């Protein structure tokens, strides 16, 4: 019951799962139909990542996490095709759910610069070059 509203997107990156293992309830990630529809209207280019085949590419190319706005939501940064893309994951009701996905501006990246946990030092160097 209730599973008809959830759409399976893919599996969480092993490095992301390692850094936040006590937060996530499993390695699968879902999105609700209502969130997917909202993302399609607000961010049409990034909504392509809510399709199963493309969402795994987004999850696999995650380079780090940051605290951007809300507590309880892990904001992840992916680097795909020369662009940074942010998406949020919340762990609620015994499942991991994508909350949002968008292309951040330089100003938004600068805001979360101090709280970013990079999975590799090379990612940090490239990120800092990009925001300066």
Helix (H, G, I), strand (E, B) or coil at 58: helix
The predicted pLDDT at position 27 comes to: 84
Give the chain's residues under pLDDT 50.
1
Residue ranges covered by each domain of the chain = 3-131
Distance CA 46, CA 43 (A): 6
The predicted pLDDT at position 1 comes to: 44
Q: Are 58 and 100 in contact (CB under 8 A)?
A: no
The predicted pLDDT at position 46 comes to: 83
């Amino acid at each position: 019951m209730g599973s008809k509203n959830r759409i399976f997107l893919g599996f969480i990156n092993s490095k992301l799962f390692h850094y936040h293992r006590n937060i996530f309830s499993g390695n699968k990630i879902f999105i609700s139909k209502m969130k997917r529809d909202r993302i399609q209207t607000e961010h049409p280019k990034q909504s392509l990542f809510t399709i199963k085949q493309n969402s795994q590419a987004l999850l696999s190319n995650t380079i780090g996490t940051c605290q951007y706005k809300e507590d309880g939501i892990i904001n992840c940064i992916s680097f795909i095709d020369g662009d940074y893309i942010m998406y949020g994951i919340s762990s609620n009701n015994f499942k991991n759910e994508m909350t949002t996905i968008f292309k951040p501006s330089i100003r938004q990246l600068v805001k979360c610069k101090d709280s970013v946990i990079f999975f590799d030092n090379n990612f940090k160097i490239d990120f800092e070059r990009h925001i300066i």
